[in-house]
Amino acid sequence: MARPGPSWSRLSPQQERDVRELVGQVAGLRDEADPNFQLCLHFAWSNFRFHHFLDVNSHKVEKTIEGIYEKFIIHSDLSKAASWKRLTEEFLNASLPNIKEIKTDAHYSILSLLLCLSDSPSNSNYVETPRDKEVEKKDDFDWGKYLMEGEEIDLSPNVDTPIWSEESEDEDDQQPLSREDSGIQVDRTPLEEQDHNRKPGPRVSWKVDEPDARSWLEQHVVRQYWTAHSARFPHSLHLHSNLAAVWDQHLYSSDPLYVPDDRVFVTETQVIRETLWLLSGVTKLFIFQLIDGKVTVRNNVIVTHLTHSCLQSVLEQIASYGQVVFQLQEFIDDVMGHSSENTPPGNGSVLPKLTDAPFRTYQAFMWALYKYFITFKEELTEIEKCIINNDTTITLAIVVDKLSPRLAQLKVLHKVFSTGIAEVPPDTRNVVRASHLLNTLYKAILEYDDVGEASEQTVSLLFSLWVETVRPYLQIVDEWIVHGHLCDCAREFIIQRNKNVPVNHRDFWYATYTLYSVSEKTENEEKMSDNASASSGSDQGPSSRQHTMVSFLRPVLKQIIMAGKSMQLLKHLQVGNSTACQATARDAERKGLYTLFLESVQSRLRHGEDASAQPLTEQQAATESLIKMQSIAERHLDLDDAHDPLLAVNFARLYLEQSDFHEKFAGGDVCMDRSSESVTCQTFELTLRSCLYPHIDKQYLDCCGNLMQTLKKDYRLVEYLQAMRNFFLMEGGDTMYDFYTSIFDKIREKETWQNLSFLNVQLQEAVGQRYPEDSSRLSISFENVDAAKKKLPVHILDGLTLSYKVPWPVDIVISSECQKIYNQVFLLLLQIKWAKYSLDVLLFGELAEKPPLQEGLLSGQDMAAQFGPQKKPVRQQIHRMFLLRVKLMHFVNSLHNYIMTRILHSTGLEFQHQIEEAKDLDQLIKIHYRYLSTIHDRCLLREKVSFVKEAIMKVLNLALMFADGWQAGLGAWQ
């Protein structure tokens, strides 16, 4: 039985019906007598009466709305973000039914409900439905005409209209015109007489209660001097204000045929403002015209207080700077026209008037120019504000004088732009363009830095341009030496990746990268291997004065190449390793090379300011004087093509007495190894040496050290090098003895030994006992050689080739070319050991036991008669063979011991020590090549000492022939 419902006095009948309908819709119960329906109804009633929900928080709703808007912006849903922002604002500012107020709790409650019901608004596809707004109909009915129908209109003056008297007109006529727009001080000279014969035109009168209206218009409305027939403005009759008219009168009096041209008179303020606009980059002007890309001055423009030629000369000088601004602004517009939005350089990229997108170096230079012109235009705007406010007197001469530092900077910028960009042929590759631009800035800084304090602002400007322009290069270097990726899509970097060679290829270290060298003097370009250039790039002598490649990177070019290749190889070796995740975490906290460079420059500048505040000691002043004198002497020597820094120092000492000269220069306070510039250009170079190069060197040492540690520890580089010495150089004596003695025994027994299966089986058995891990890597082959050489016993072993399968990446160090050198030494050692073994195995009893060979059978008496008297000579002959054998053994053993101990062993100890001290892989490769070259030369394998080797081979061949004769018996010698 249903319980009776409680009293519901607070709810109206309509609300009660709505509650019952809500229960029916939500719970799905239609029978009101159902107990479940009554329970739901009581639950809803209690919540309506005694609910504990807080009112809506408008700040929280607005914060949620703003968060959704920002989320749309982050997801690049700009259309949804705009619709969301506009619709929510329109709803909050609209009135609801029965509620006229805006932004009430009802508004925020509805929005809160919609936000709670929403499910991931950013993932839904929304297209706003256009809504037609109701437009209020305008009443086009002419009520005035309707109401005035039939009425007479009186056009006579109204009583309320003020009467304009002649006195007020006279006062207005006598009021002097304001001259603030002309830039000339106004005097009280009477104005020119008016033409009384001309017909009076309609006169404009001013109300009595607005006395400043006319002066306001005169100050703020510019006369249209740019029109074809502009009226001549009234001006003073003072002599200084009519110099142009006086000069024309003088020309007319001196030349009766002189006819003045049609002139357009402008004020000096108008000339100043067009000058400011021209320098701001505006091209559509009246006084200055842009014709075929060249800024010219209109010939018929004149001011009253200057002659025409004087004004033209001043304006033509300004037009030349306007031409510079136009060219630089055109370059900026061309570069920015290739990108969708105005973003800083390093993300997109760049060249004027090219179909391809500009590369990043040009884009960075454009960004530096753009930031410079921002400050320049701000300065021009301040001058124009002074003109508008009439705070001070501004003339054209004052403006030109105030802008003279900026104009000098524009001249420098134009020189850099013309040399570095405009004069480069359009078909030049990006790497040459980028290198040429950076070298142009670099040499300009050194050139102006040599002047001293006179060009301090110019050096500061060029240095700021260079710092901004070099950003992409340093970012490319940083990405390469830190992450191992050479990201250079536009191919503007001097080092470029050869994508045909993968990282795990054995030629990776030699053929992966190409270094482009650009000669600034001959304007030619050549490719060189990065291996050769890296080893010699930083060792240029003082006589080398040619700026090649990118000049500022030359001192650390080798470190960059080594660090980049080492990091790429190291990253490939660490794929799938846990250290990669740790490196990623560390990289998130790491500062880039460009950021570190800027911080170092700032700290150096602050340190320089602190140091400059301290007074110079006598020693410091003497040192600076010596450096200045040396620079002067060196500059004079350069005129005679004598590039000798030491000679310049000695010339400087002739003028300055320095008692502690050797101590100062031996202490390293002054660096003398300047290959391309004089010592006075030390500020910028020392900035690079102290602010940029140490960061590159540090990363070079870190990544190359990690690579060397990885190769030695994880990839057993040292063990593989020792294995090559054990087998090829026979330092594993007992192992190789078992191998080559089996071959020598076959040869002595005149059996076939050239079978590959026999050779490899003997090699595997010998190596497998003591070096089982290397047995699978070693193999031996035999190739037939010249038949003429085979006639000599010592050359019977020619054609044996030992092979060792070196895994990657160790094969970068132990290459196939290295194994060829190892095989040459191996063959020489095998020949010496073959001769030594042949002599060692000879027995004294073998020669005495074997009787001499005779032809036919002899009787006992004949034999007694024959051997009886010859017994003593046979013993002497045997003794002589014993002595010859000992002498041959002495020579062969001495040669064998010398090569194995004094050459291979001692050189091997030096090689091991050098391997431990190697800083990078390239240095390790060079150490290995140097080691092989040393043992190759000391083993007499070079062509220059081939005659010595031939002599030794003759002795070894004699020893082998002697062993064969010994084995054949004494009769073979008779």
Task: Supply the pLDDT for residue 521.
Answer: 45
Task: Supply the pLDDT for residue 623.
Answer: 57
Task: Supply the pLDDT for residue 415.
Answer: 92
**Cβ neighbours, 10 Å, residue 202:** 4
For the ranges 67-81, 237-251, 858-872, the lowest mean pLDDT is seen at: 858-872
Helix (H, G, I), strand (E, B) or coil at 548: strand
Stretch 322-331: mean pLDDT: 91
DSSP class of residue 290 equals E
Yes or no: say if 561 and 534 are a contact pair by the CB < 8 Å rule. yes
* 131 Rama class: left (phi>0) / alpha (psi -120 to 50) / beta: beta
Overall pTM > 0.85: no
Task: Supply the pLDDT for residue 302.
Answer: 78
Q: Rounding to the nearest 10 degrees, give the CA dihedral for residues 221, 225, 227, 230.
A: 100
Yes or no: say if 361 and 437 are a contact pair by the CB < 8 Å rule. yes
**What is the secondary structure of 21-70 as a DSSP string?**
HHHHHHH----TTSHHHHHHHHHHHHHHHH--PPPP-HHHHHHHHHHHHH
- Alpha helices by DSSP H, listed for 150-259, are 166-174, 213-220, 243-254
**Cβ neighbours, 10 Å, residue 493:** 25
Per DSSP, what are the bridge partners of residue 778?
804
Is the pLDDT at 927 greater than 90, yes or no? yes
What HEC string does 463-506 produce? HHHHHHHCHHHHHHHHHHHHHCCCCCCCCCCCEEECCCCCCCCC
Is the pLDDT at 435 greater than 70, yes or no? yes
Per DSSP, what are the bridge partners of residue 517?
526
Is the pLDDT at 761 greater than 60, yes or no? yes
Q: How confident is the model at residue 673 (pLDDT cuts 50, 70, 90)?
A: very low
The larger pLDDT score, comparing residue 144 to residue 202, is at 144
What are the pLDDT digits (tens) for 86-124? 888 888 888 888 777 888 888 888 888 888 877 777 777
Sign of CA dihedral 736, 737, 738, 741: positive
What are the pLDDT digits (tens) for 480-498? 888 888 888 888 888 888 7
**What is the secondary structure of 201-224 as a DSSP string?**
-PPP---TT-TTHHHHHHHHS---
**What is the secondary structure of 76-127 as a DSSP string?**
T-HHHHHHHHHHHHHHHTSPBTTB-SSS-HHHHHHHHHHHHH---GGGS---
Q: How confident is the model at residue 566 (pLDDT cuts 50, 70, 90)?
A: confident
Per DSSP, what are the bridge partners of residue 99?
96
Residues with Cβ within 8 Å of 652's Cβ and at least 6 positions away in sequence, in order, are: 626, 629, 630, 632, 633
Is the pLDDT at 383 greater than 80, yes or no? yes
The larger pLDDT score, comparing residue 546 to residue 918, is at 918
Task: Supply the pLDDT for residue 134.
Answer: 59
Q: How confident is the model at residue 229 (pLDDT cuts 50, 70, 90)?
A: low
Please state, in angstroms and rounded to a whole number, the distance separating the CA atoms of residues 347 and 360: 8
**Cβ neighbours, 10 Å, residue 371:** 14
- Structure tokens of 774? 């290397």
What are the pLDDT digits (tens) for 278-316? 999 888 888 888 888 888 888 888 787 777 788 888 899
What are the pLDDT digits (tens) for 593-640? 888 988 888 887 776 544 444 444 555 555 555 565 556 555 555 555
Q: Rounding to the nearest 10 degrees, give the CA dihedral for residues 804, 806, 812, 816.
A: 20
Residues with Cβ within 8 Å of 931's Cβ and at least 6 positions away in sequence, in order, are: 907, 908, 910, 911, 914
Please state, in angstroms and rounded to a whole number, the distance separating the CA atoms of residues 610 and 589: 31
Task: Supply the pLDDT for residue 81.
Answer: 86
Per DSSP, what are the bridge partners of residue 802?
780
Is the pLDDT at 509 greater than 90, yes or no? no
Stretch 785-808: mean pLDDT: 79
Please state, in angstroms and rounded to a whole number, the distance separating the CA atoms of residues 110 and 105: 9
What are the pLDDT digits (tens) for 939-949? 888 888 888 88
Task: Supply the pLDDT for residue 377.
Answer: 92
- Tell me the average pLDDT of the chain: 74
DSSP class of residue 776 equals T
Highest mean pLDDT among 517-531, 532-546, 681-695: 681-695
For the ranges 86-100, 164-178, 296-310, 770-784, the lowest mean pLDDT is seen at: 164-178
DSSP class of residue 656 equals S
- Structure tokens of 82? 């705009």
Sign of CA dihedral 579, 584, 586, 591: positive
Residues with Cβ within 8 Å of 424's Cβ and at least 6 positions away in sequence, in order, are: 432, 433, 436
Percent of the chain whose pLDDT exceeds 90? 10
Task: Supply the pLDDT for residue 535.
Answer: 39
Task: Supply the pLDDT for residue 846.
Answer: 65
Stretch 545-549: mean pLDDT: 48
Residue type, 781: S
Yes or no: say if 759 and 782 are a contact pair by the CB < 8 Å rule. yes
Yes or no: say if 189 and 235 are a contact pair by the CB < 8 Å rule. no
Q: How confident is the model at residue 930 (pLDDT cuts 50, 70, 90)?
A: very high
Please state, in angstroms and rounded to a whole number, the distance separating the CA atoms of residues 605 and 601: 6
- Alpha helices by DSSP H, listed for 282-403, are 308-336, 360-389, 396-402
- Structure tokens of 326? 């136009």
Please state, in angstroms and rounded to a whole number, the distance separating the CA atoms of residues 429 and 439: 16
Task: Supply the pLDDT for residue 850.
Answer: 52
Please state, in angstroms and rounded to a whole number, the distance separating the CA atoms of residues 704 and 922: 9
The larger pLDDT score, comparing residue 872 to residue 968, is at 968
Stretch 228-236: mean pLDDT: 56
Task: Supply the pLDDT for residue 468.
Answer: 92
Beta-strand relationship, 294-297 and 288-291: antiparallel
Please state, in angstroms and rounded to a whole number, the distance separating the CA atoms of residues 779 and 803: 5
Highest mean pLDDT among 155-159, 296-300, 405-409, 808-812: 405-409
Is the pLDDT at 527 greater than 50, yes or no? no
Helix (H, G, I), strand (E, B) or coil at 781: strand
